[in-house]
Amino acid sequence: MPGMQIPFDHPSLSRIVDDLATHGWSQQTLFLPESLTRALAAECRKRAAEGELAPAGVGRGPAQEVREGIRGDHIQWLEPGEADACDRYLELMDSLREAMNRGLFLGLEDFECHFALYPPGAFYRKHLDRFRDDDRRTVSAVIYLNEDWLPEHGGQLRMSLKGDVERDVQPTGGCLVVFLSGEVPHEVLPAHRERLSLTGWFRRRGNEPF
């Protein structure tokens, strides 16, 4: 796909590393070229139309269950080799992983991510991304895929930062948010129109219990 080439030395990578070191989170408003954001959104909608997205569960392993009172999004995990746009995104996340390992010595080994579609009215209550019984998730990364998102559409990511500070991010197409999975509680406010994203986690080796 022409016009979708992303330089390996994406200028945001070092800013994200610096932000994580000083604040524990980072927001990059125009992280992806528009063509790639559009291609990812189209891929997400196609999968939704084909019935490939399923209601997300809460918790992990055998104890996982769907609880719409906690989270109402529908998801599908990404695998390499499924779509050109997805592979571009995975490559870019791999260069971010390497930049974080070089700059922060995090020892991140892999990246897992899923498409997420919030139907109108859906939300995700306040939570931490690191599971109590599995501490591999170290850095969370969410890229938003919504064109023309307005504040009245809701669906903001609300992060609870140190010192009781709350910070809202609009889920506007091409915007990337990165934060430390074990340290930043966050929630997704009710979205009043369909809200698309690609949400992922950089993981290090850990004490996987199952």
Under the rule (CB under 5 A), what is the footprint of Mn ion? 129
Which of 100, 123, 197, 202: binder of ligand OGA (CB under 6 A)?
A: 197
Name the minimum Å distance from CB 47 to Mn ion.
20
Judged by beta carbon, residue 96 or residue 116, the one nearer ligand OGA is: 116
Over its C-alpha atoms, the chain yields an Rg (Å, rounded) of: 16
Q: List the structure tokens of 210.
A: 């199952």
Which of 186, 191, 200, 202: binder of ligand OGA (CB under 6 A)?
A: 186
Residue 162: which H helix or E strand, with range?
Answer: none
74 binds, among Mn ion, ligand OGA, none (CB under 5 to 8 A by kind): none
Name the minimum Å distance from CB 199 to Mn ion.
7
Place of tokens 């599995």: 134
Spatial separation of the C-alpha atoms in residues 162 and 117, rounded to whole Å: 29
Closest C-alpha to 174, from 61, 1, 2, 6 = 6
Residue 151: other Cβ atoms inside 10 A: 9
Q: Is 76 one of the binding residues for ligand OGA (CB under 6 A)?
A: no
Of residues 114 through 143, those in contact with ligand OGA by CB under 6 A are 116, 124, 129, 142
